[in-house]
Structure 1
Amino acid sequence: MHTAAARPGRSGGDKTYPVAEADELLSFLLKTVTNQGRNSLKSMLARGQIEVDGRSVTAYDYMLQPGQTVTLRKEAPAEKLPLAAMTILYEDDDIIVIHKEAGLLSISAGDKADNQELTAYRQLTAHVRVVNPHARIFVVHRLDRDTSGVMMFAKSEEIQQKLQNEWQDIVKERTYVALVEGKVRKAEDTITSWLKETKTLLMYSSQHPNDGQYAVTRYKTLQTTSDFSLLEVQLETGRKNQIRVHMADIGHPIVGDKKYGSRSRAIGRLGLHARVLSFEHPRTGKLMRFETDIPRLLLRPFQSKA
C-alpha cells in the first residue's frame, strides 16, 4: 500500500508529501491525503493549491515520478479573474473573506439577477464558477457601498445559515476605524440605543426603550485635532448603519456621511473602515482573524496638522 508522511510546507498550514513511486497526481492525493475527499482535492487542484516541486499543477493525470514532492497549499493563490475594487484575503471550500474598497456595492439592491451593476457578490460568483459552473455565493453580512474593509461570504446555503443563525456566538471581534467631525471629548465610551428605520430607509435612534433593535457601540479615541477625531469602534451588535447613527447621536457624524448630518468632505469618501473581523470557522471551529491597514485617506487630516 502506498503511504507517505506529511511534513510542514513553506507556510504554517501547507503540507508537503514525498513521492516514492510513479503515480498520477489525483490518484496519489487520494491515497496520501486522508483528511480530504475527492471533491475537495479536485477543487484544490482547480484553484491551483496543489504544487509539484514548487510549481502549481492542475491536471488530475499529471504523472508523478519518485523523488518529487507534492505540496498542498492552505490558501489558494491569487484569483484567476481580475477583481475590481476588492481583494480576496482567504478562501476555502466554505467561506471567502475579502477586503472591499470604498465605492463598491456588496450586493445589488434586492439581489435582482438582471441588475448588471458591478458588486462584490457578482465578482465572487464569477470567481467560483471558474472552478465549478454551478457554484454559488451566499451573503452573510454587508458593508455599505462607501465603507471599506473586511467582509465574508459563504459558499453554501448550509454555511450561510449557520453563520447567520449563530453570528453573535461565532463572531469574536468586529472593529472599525471611523473618522468623525469635531474633537471627541471622551477618550472612550459605550453608546446604546434602539434603532428603527423610516419609510425613506433612514435609520434613527428611538427615544423609547424596546422600540426597535437594540444596538451597542463601543469606541475609543486614537487621534484628535480641533476639527476631526479618529476612533476605534467595536460593534457588540451589528445593526444597519449602526455606527453612522451612533456617531451622529453624540454630535460627531462620520466625515462624508451627508445622510446622517456630516458637512465635511475632507477626504472625498465616507470615513469608515471595517478593519478587523475575527470569527470561529463555521465548520472547523478554528479561530480566524483578518486585519487590514487603516486607509491613508482616513489619516490625512492628522498628517496635515503635524
Structure 2
Amino acid sequence: MKETFSMSILPEWNGLTLESLLKNELSFGKKSIHQWRMEKSITINGELKPWKNPLSEGDQLTFKYTVLPSAPAWKAEVDVLFEDEHLVVLNKPARLDTHPNSEADTQTLQNAIVHDLLSKGHSGYAQPIHRLDHDTTGAILFAKHPAIKPLLDQLLEKRMIKRTYIALAEGQMKTSGTIREPIGKDRHHPVRRRVSPGGQKAVTQYQRLSVDPVKNLSLVELNLETGRTHQIRVHLSSIGHPIAGDTLYGSISRQFSHQALHARKLSFIHPFTLKEITASAPPPAYFKHH
C-alpha cells in the first residue's frame, strides 16, 4: 500500500539542504537517503526540487513509501494515549504480549493496533520500539511508518526515551536507591533472568512513594537507565523485595494474579517536531488502594 507522511521545516533547520537535514539533523542512514533520492520519494511543497537547494522555515516535506501491515489484524480494543501521523503510544493491558513470537501468535497488542490503523485507512504498519512483559501494563511506543522507526530506535539506544514505572514490592523498602547489577540469562530456566557478573550492564533507580504496613507492601517509582529483559523484576528480587504477584522471581504474595508492575509514563523529544511528548497511562485500579 502506498502511503505518505509529511513534516514541516522548523526554524532550527532554515537554510539547510535536504541532504544535510536528513543526514546530519535527523540521522537517517545512507541506505534510506540513497533510496529516497533514487526513487524521487520526497517532495518539497508538493514539487520535486534539487536536494542542494536550501530549505526555508515552513516548507513542507512529503515522503512517499510502500509498506504492508506489520502483522495480521486482530479486532480488539486499543487504548491510545498519544497519536500523530508518525507514532502512537498505547496503554497495554495485562495478559497480552507486545508482539507475536510465532506465526501462530495473532492476538497481541501489535495485531490489535494493526487492525485499528487499517480501520482508519492506514497501511497497518506498526512496529514496537520497546516491549513490555506479558503481564506488565502501561505506556508503550509504536512507530507508524518505516522512516520514523530507526529514529525512535536511536532515541531508545541513546537512553533519550524516559520510562517511568510504578510497582508494588513486597516488604518495606528503603526510601530510595540505585541498583547497579548486571543481568544475564538463568541457565537453569528458559525464561528467567538473574543477576550475573558476566551479564549485561543494568541500572534501576527507585524511590519509595508509600508503605502499606498491613499488607507489607511498598509502592515504588522506578526509572530505567538501561532496558534489559525483566530488569525491574530481577533487580527488585535481588534486593529481597520481589514485585507482588511475580512468582517467577520469588513473590510469596497471593494478593495479585500477576506482577504488580505498570509503565506509568513515557517522555521523549519527537524527532520531526522537536517537541517533548509525554504520555501517561492511568494505573490499574489495584494501585489506587496503596
Q: List per-residue Cα deviations over 1:137-189 (Å, max 9, x = no partner).
A: 112100111111101001123322221233144634211001011111x2000
1:30-41 paired onto structure 2 within 5 Å: none
Answer yes or no: is 1:225 the counterpart of 2:212. yes
Code of the aligned partner of 1:202: R
Q: What SS is found at the alignment partner of 2:182?
A: strand
Provide the residue aligned with 2:117 in structure 1.
128
Answer yes or no: is 1:89 the counterpart of 2:78. no
Structure 2 counterpart of 1:203, from 193, 206, 210: 193
Answer yes or no: is 1:284 the counterpart of 2:242. no
Q: List per-residue Cα deviations over 1:74-111 (Å, max 9, x = no partner).
A: xxxxxxx9743x401122221111111112221122xx
Q: Which runs of 5+ in 2 are unaligned?
A: 1-45, 47-57, 65-73
Provide the residue aligned with 1:189 in structure 2.
177
The CA RMSD over aligned residues, in Å, is 2.3
Asked if the contact 1:170/1:279 (under 8 Å) is kept, the reply is no
Provide the residue aligned with 1:273 in structure 2.
262
Distance 2:195 2:155 in 1: 25
Q: What SS is found at the alignment partner of 1:93?
A: coil
Asked if the contact 1:180/1:255 (under 8 Å) is kept, the reply is yes
Q: List per-residue Cα deviations over 1:186-227 (Å, max 9, x = no partner).
A: 200000111101341211111x2xx22101001111111331
Cα distance change, pair 283–113 in 1 and its aligned pair in 2 (3 A): farther
Any runs of at least 4 consecutive aligned residues in structure 1 with deviations exceeding 4 A, and if so which? Answer: 34-40
Code of the aligned partner of 1:164: D
Bigger Rg, structure 1 or 2: 1
Distance 2:185 2:172 in 1: 28
Code of the aligned partner of 1:105: D
Asked if the contact 1:275/1:294 (under 8 Å) is kept, the reply is yes
**Higher relative contact order (Cα pairs below 8 Å, separated by 6+ residues):** 2
Structure 1 counterpart of 2:132, from 135, 138, 143: 143
Structure 2 counterpart of 1:99, from 86, 91, 109: 91
Distance 1:216 1:276 in 2: 18
Code of the aligned partner of 1:115: D
Cα distance change, pair 168–37 in 1 and its aligned pair in 2 (3 A): closer
Post-superposition offset of 1:125 = 0.9
Structure 1 window deviating more from structure 2 (252-261 vs 190-199): it is: 190-199
Q: What SS is found at the alignment partner of 1:171?
A: coil
Distance 1:187 1:151 in 2: 27
Answer yes or no: is 1:171 the counterpart of 2:160. yes
Asked if the contact 2:181/2:201 (under 8 Å) is kept, the reply is yes
Structure 2 counterpart of 1:108, from 95, 100, 103: 100
Answer yes or no: is 1:212 the counterpart of 2:199. yes
Distance 1:188 1:123 in 2: 37
Provide the residue aligned with 1:239 in structure 2.
228
Q: Could you tell me the TM-score, scaled by structure 1's length? A: 0.66
Post-superposition offset of 1:37 = 6.7
Distance 1:159 1:286 in 2: 15
Distance 2:217 2:288 in 1: 10
Asked if the contact 2:159/2:226 (under 8 Å) is kept, the reply is no
Q: List per-residue Cα deviations over 1:255-277 (Å, max 9, x = no partner).
A: 11011111112133321000010
Code of the aligned partner of 2:185: E
Code of the aligned partner of 2:195: S
Post-superposition offset of 1:296 = 2.2
Post-superposition offset of 1:251 = 0.2
Provide the residue aligned with 1:252 in structure 2.
241
**Percent identity of equivalent pairs:** 34
Post-superposition offset of 1:35 = 6.0
Q: Could you tell me the TM-score, scaled by structure 2's length? A: 0.70
Asked if the contact 1:267/1:298 (under 8 Å) is kept, the reply is no
Asked if the contact 1:163/1:170 (under 8 Å) is kept, the reply is no
Provide the residue aligned with 1:59 in structure 2.
none
Q: List per-residue Cα deviations over 1:18-70 (Å, max 9, x = no partner).
A: xxxxxxxxxxxx9xxx7667889xxxxxxxxxxxxxxxxxxxxxxxxxxxxxx
Cα distance change, pair 133–229 in 1 and its aligned pair in 2 (3 A): closer
Asked if the contact 1:191/1:217 (under 8 Å) is kept, the reply is yes
Q: How many residues align?
A: 221
Provide the residue aligned with 1:49 in structure 2.
none
